Structure 1
Amino acid sequence: MTDTLSLLRTGKLAGATRLDLACGLTEFPREIFDLAESLEVLNLTDNRLSSLPGDLHRLSKLKILFCSSNEFRELPAVIGQCPALEMVAFKSNAIAKVPEEAFAPQLRWLILTDNQIPELPASIGRCHRLQKLMLAGNRLSALPAEMANCHALELLRLSANRFGSLPPWLFSLPRLAWLAISGNPMSPSPDHADPIGKIGWNELQIHEVLGEGASGTIHRATWGERLVAVKIFKGAMTSDGLPADEMAACLAAGSHPHLIPIVGKIANHPQAAEGLVMEFIPDGFSSLAAAPSWESCTRDVYDPDTRFGCDALLGIAGSMAKVGSHLHAGGILHGDLYAHNMLANAAGECYLGDFGAASFHPPGVPAAALERLEVRAFGCLLEELVDRCEDAPPALRELRDRCLSARVAERPPFAEITRVLEDIVRP
């Protein structure tokens, strides 16, 4: 990164659309303004910055600003003057104040995870394009009533804060589909003994990495002669919340044909890390899609050539509707019902994983309200599947529209969705 700074200062980055600088900066390099006519992405993560220049708005084409892992104590008000800014990340600073003026007019994605924020200003209600708001790991106990005007909001992370309750208007937002609320006083983990046994770390042989998410890394492993998958939790605050809450929800979900079975909990890890041993899903299964990109914001990214036959589509949709019904009957909101968290094969057999955003139904919130919220997430999945299926029957499109309805109370519960899908399957 030091080389990048040298190139910037010698004018050799003219016309650059992206700039990454992580070299212990304590002051904003003024040479960045030499890229004002081209710069769209500015990544200043992992420095020691505590302020931004008052004329930052001169970066008139700047769309994305990353300032995570710095030393900001206040969200800079100047970012609200940047005319093209759509994505802002100030994760893991020491922010305790968010000024009224700090929200850019085009803001779609705001990450303030792992700070010390006690309240948000009413001006957030003017963020009419805001789709994704990450607030896990702060000191919030309420949301401003003006947020009821954020009708574009689709994903909201409130885990590991100080909420004793949630405002009723939250469940009337027409597009909200992905919500995380674990680790708050209103949403305690269930108080019961772990339903599975422990597996000593020395009993496992760890092999290659199969995947990595915000909360941990999954490895292929062997336990005696048995092939398994092992997830090692990172133990730190993630964008979804705390790994301990993920583990609690995963265990509480219990057994279901379309959930990845849990074999045991890891014991005696050399770094005292927590982890789960899971059934190994055989070859032929893969993630349905990739996680959302900067451009797609809240929607998964599919390979351009992805297509689903009607039978496979119905298999995937039917499996996930049954899982949704099972989880909500057990008082669990998955919070991340996305194709990128599903493993499927060509025949449409499917498993749901990743409980990183899962929460237990809090007292005082109607279970039906939480289920309808997750039904919209299912509707987004169904929309993506139907768009990639040439022979999807009209009944599937009708079901999609009902699940996506902006009239939240009109969305069908998962049990009804399952019946509709079964009727479509019958000749």
Structure 2
Amino acid sequence: MGNSVLKQHYETAAKTGVLRISKGKLTKFPIPLSNLEQVLRTLDLTDNRFSNLPQEIKNFKNLKHLTLDKNVLRTLPEVLGELTKLESLSVRDNILVEIPHTLSCLKNLKEAHFSGNNLQDFPLALCGLRHLDMLDLSRNSITKVPDDPNLSTLHVVELNLNQNQISDLSEHLANCPRLRTLRLEENCLTLNAIPRCLLDSSGISMLAIEGNLFPPNSLAHVEGYDSYMERYTAVKKKLF
């Protein structure tokens, strides 16, 4: 991306509050970006070469949407937690191995996308965020959903854990107050690893479990399945 094109992007962003620079081969923030600290609402740096997100990101206090897909980020800076107006955060297809605990400060976060990374631990830091509707952790290396009471404060409506290495699920998932869609496709779950409370006493109405260590239709023989199907059917009826 040439300098003249970048200059035009910056000038437009100063008026709209939206800046998208993809495939720019960036490894650090360009100097003109600092002039937009107070006006940017959306920053999209997809498909660049960031291995570290500069600490200067903390200065963009008015950001609502931050997209960092397809870089080479191994970690995220703790100062990211200072962007308290952030509503969506997308860090797909990087090499993240952990998520900073300071993300628990993102009280306005509605969507968090971390698919296609190297995460091994479930990010409990995102529990307690009351506006978080969608959490995508698919295509990582998570081996379990921990048996931690804090999990009951996860407020997501949809949790995507497809294509991990999960063999152990916590019963606390059944207590998530708004959880309706739980995606667990292509993991390492046995039928006995599915907590019965997910079926008979949760609010989950869509449980996707194909591609695990048991035939999906065998779930129909598990205690609580009828209760789950009542919720599933009720939701389907509302859609038609």
**TM-score range for the pair, normalised by the shorter chain length:** 0.7 to 0.9
Residue 67 of structure 2 corresponds to residue 63 of structure 1: no
8 Å CA contact retained: 1:187, 1:362? no
The residue type paired with residue 152 of structure 2 is: A
Alpha carbons of 1:165 and 1:14: their partners in 2 closer, same or farther (altered >3 Å)?
same
Matched length: 217
Partner of 1:308: none
8 Å CA contact retained: 1:98, 1:121? yes
> Which segments of 5 or more consecutive residues in structure 2 lack a partner in the other structure?
192-198, 211-215
- Give secondary structure in 1 for the equivalent of 2:16: coil
- Give secondary structure in 2 for the equivalent of 1:140: coil
> Which segments of 5 or more consecutive residues in structure 1 lack a partner in the other structure?
189-327, 337-356, 386-427
Identity of aligned residues (%): 24
Partner of 2:153: 149
Q: Deviations over 1:345-404 (max 9, x none)?
A: xxxxxxxxxxxx66337878843465466457x17x72x77xxxxxxxxxxxxxxxxxxx
8 Å CA contact retained: 2:160, 2:183? yes
The residue type paired with residue 170 of structure 2 is: P
8 Å CA contact retained: 2:138, 2:162? yes
- Give secondary structure in 2 for the equivalent of 1:94: coil
Alpha-carbon separation, structure 1, partners of 2:152 and 2:160: 16
Residue 106 of structure 2 corresponds to residue 102 of structure 1: no
Partner of 2:225: 367
Alpha-carbon separation, structure 2, partners of 1:113 and 1:174: 23
Partner of 2:75: 74
Residue 19 of structure 2 corresponds to residue 16 of structure 1: no
Q: CA deviation at 1:28?
A: 2.0
Give the alignment of 1:371-390 within 5 angstroms.
Answer: 371=229, 374=232, 378=235, 382=238
When normalised by structure 2's length, the TM-score is 0.77
The farther-off stretch of 136-145 and 29-38 is: 29-38
The structure with the largest alpha-carbon Rg is 1
Q: CA deviation at 1:128?
A: 2.1
Alpha carbons of 1:6 and 1:373: their partners in 2 closer, same or farther (altered >3 Å)?
farther
Alpha-carbon separation, structure 1, partners of 2:223 and 2:34: 49
Partner of 1:180: 183
The residue type paired with residue 142 of structure 1 is: K
Alpha-carbon separation, structure 1, partners of 2:50 and 2:227: 42
Alpha carbons of 1:372 and 1:25: their partners in 2 closer, same or farther (altered >3 Å)?
farther
Alpha carbons of 1:27 and 1:375: their partners in 2 closer, same or farther (altered >3 Å)?
farther
Alpha-carbon separation, structure 2, partners of 1:61 and 1:141: 36
Q: CA deviation at 1:118?
A: 0.6
Partner of 1:235: none
8 Å CA contact retained: 1:73, 1:96? yes
8 Å CA contact retained: 2:205, 2:229? no
Match for residue 118 of structure 1 among 107, 117, 120: 120
8 Å CA contact retained: 2:124, 2:151? yes
Q: CA deviation at 1:107?
A: 1.2
- Give secondary structure in 2 for the equivalent of 1:156: strand
- Give secondary structure in 2 for the equivalent of 1:14: helix
Q: Deviations over 1:202-230 (max 9, x none)?
A: xxxxxxxxxxxxxxxxxxxxxxxxxxxxx
Q: CA deviation at 1:60?
A: 1.9
Alpha carbons of 1:153 and 1:374: their partners in 2 closer, same or farther (altered >3 Å)?
farther
Q: CA deviation at 1:136?
A: 0.7
Alpha-carbon separation, structure 1, partners of 2:133 and 2:156: 4
8 Å CA contact retained: 2:28, 2:54? no
Alpha carbons of 1:182 and 1:121: their partners in 2 closer, same or farther (altered >3 Å)?
closer
Partner of 1:45: 46
Alpha-carbon separation, structure 2, partners of 1:373 and 1:33: 50
8 Å CA contact retained: 1:4, 1:21? no
The residue type paired with residue 148 of structure 1 is: S
Q: CA deviation at 1:182?
A: 0.9
Alpha-carbon separation, structure 1, partners of 2:19 and 2:125: 30
Q: Following TM superposition, where does structure 1 have runs of at least 4 consecutive aligned residues deviating by more than 6 angstroms?
A: 361-365
Q: CA RMSD in A?
A: 3.0
- Give secondary structure in 2 for the equivalent of 1:19: strand
Alpha-carbon separation, structure 2, partners of 1:60 and 1:362: 50
The residue type paired with residue 171 of structure 1 is: A
The residue type paired with residue 19 of structure 2 is: L
Q: CA deviation at 1:139?
A: 1.1
Alpha-carbon separation, structure 2, partners of 1:133 and 1:365: 28
Q: CA deviation at 1:334?
A: 9.0
Alpha-carbon separation, structure 2, partners of 1:375 and 1:30: 55
